[in-house]
Structure 1
Amino acid sequence: MTEVLELRQYTLRPGGRDVLIDLFDREFVEPQEALDIRLYGQFRDRDDEDRFVWIRGFPDMATRGEALAAFYGGPVWREHRAAANATMIDSDDVLLLRPATPDTGFDVPASRPDAESSSLVTVTLYHLPPGAGDEFTELFVREVRPLLADLGATPLACLRTDPSENNFPALPVRTGENVFAWVAAHADQEAHLEHVRLLGRSTRWTHDLLPLLAKHFARGPEQLHLGPTARSRLR
C-alpha cells in the first residue's frame, strides 16, 4: 500500500494541456515508475480546460525524497523540462496525503490502459480545522463509505493530509492544510449524476450523515471532476 501521495493540480497556459498530456503520457510515466513512484492517474479537469491534475504515490517519505531527486535530476526530465514547463503557469497546488486508515489506500490494476475513456473520476475534498480529523475519519469510513458504495460511488481511496515536512523542497506543497479526500470512478457523466440524484434522495445522507460531517468543516467541500488521459490507471 502506498503510504505517501501527492494530489497535484496544475494551471496551464491556454492550449497547453493537450501538449503536456501528450508529453507526460509518452515520456514521464515509465521513468518515474522505474524509481518506485506509482502513477495512479493523469486527468483533464472537466470544469477548467486549462487545468491538469495527477496523482502519484511513494512507499514512504524517504523513498519520496530519493525518487524525486533521481527523477528531477535525471536525463528524462533534463531533456523534456523546458517543453513541460512552457505549458505551465503554476504547478505549486500540491496536497501531500496518506491513506486515512490502513485499508483505504488505492488498489488499482497492475496493467495500464492505453486508450481514452469516457469515464469520470471525482475527488471530493473536505477541509477540516487544524489538528482535527480522527473523529471525522472514523465516521466517514465506518458510516459514509458503505452508503456511497450502495449508491453507486464506491470510494477507491480515502485519504487525509500527511503532516510530514516536505523532503523535496524544490517542489513545493501546500502548507497549513488539513483535508480529507475520497476518490471515486464513474462509468460516465450520467452515472455520476445518477449517484448525485440518489444521494440527494437518501434521508440517511441528507438528514443523518451530512449534518454530522458538516460539523467538522472549516469551509465548504470541493469536488474535482476529472477525465482520465489515455494512460491513467484510475478511470
Structure 2
Amino acid sequence: MAIVELREYKIKPNMKHAWLKWLKAELLPYQVSQGMRILQTYVYADENGNDWFVWLREFDDEQTRQALYEKTYNQWWKDHVRPKVFTMIEQDNIKVRLLNPVKLV
C-alpha cells in the first residue's frame, strides 16, 4: 500500500516568496528527478501570523521511501542544499507525519 508523507515547514519571517520561488525552480525539480512523487503543496498562516509550507509526497512502500531518502539526501544535498533550506525555514519546526488511509465509504 502506498505511503503518504505530510511535511510541514515553518517559513522564516519575510521569506515566503523566496522559499516558494526556490522550491519551484530548484528543490522540487531535483526531488522529482530523484523519483519523489509530489502530490500537492500548500501554504497557510497560523493564528500567530506565521507562514507554513505544507506538502504531500507519496511512496510505493516504506522500503522505496527509505531508498529514495538515501538517493536524494546524499552528500551533495547535505553540503549544498540543506544549508540554503535553513536560511528560509525554521529547522526546529519541521514536522513529518506518515498518513494512514482509512476507508470510510
Q: Bin the TM-score by the shorter chain.
A: 0.7 to 0.9
Distance of 2:93 and 2:79 partners within structure 1: 17
Q: Tell me how far 1:69 sits from its aligned partner.
A: 1.5
Give the count of matched residue pairs: 102
Ranked by relative contact order (alpha carbons within 8 Å, sequence separation 6 or more), the top structure is 2
Distance of 1:23 and 1:74 partners within structure 2: 20
Give the alignment's TM-score, normalised by structure 1: 0.39
Q: List alignment gaps of at least 5 residues for structure 2.
A: none
Map of 1:113 onto structure 2 = none
Question: 1:97 and 2:99 equivalent?
Answer: yes
Higher helix content, 1 or 2: 2
Q: Tell me how far 1:25 sits from its aligned partner.
A: 1.1
Q: List alignment gaps of at least 5 residues for structure 1.
A: 102-140, 143-235
Indicate conservation of the 8 Å contact 2:4/2:58, yes or no: yes
Distance of 1:51 and 1:26 partners within structure 2: 19
Of all paired residues, the percent bearing the same amino acid is 25
Distance of 1:13 and 1:30 partners within structure 2: 22
Give the greater-gyration-radius structure (CA): 1
1:1-235, aligned counterparts within 5 Å? Answer: 3-47=2-46, 48-73=49-74, 75=76, 78-89=79-90, 90-101=92-103, 141-142=104-105
Q: What is the identity, as a one-letter code, of the residue corresponding to 1:100?
A: V
Give the alignment's TM-score, normalised by structure 2: 0.79
Rate the CA distance shift 1:49–1:92 in 2: closer, same or farther, 3 A.
Answer: closer
Rate the CA distance shift 1:45–1:26 in 2: closer, same or farther, 3 A.
Answer: same
Rate the CA distance shift 1:34–1:91 in 2: closer, same or farther, 3 A.
Answer: farther
Rate the CA distance shift 1:91–1:57 in 2: closer, same or farther, 3 A.
Answer: farther
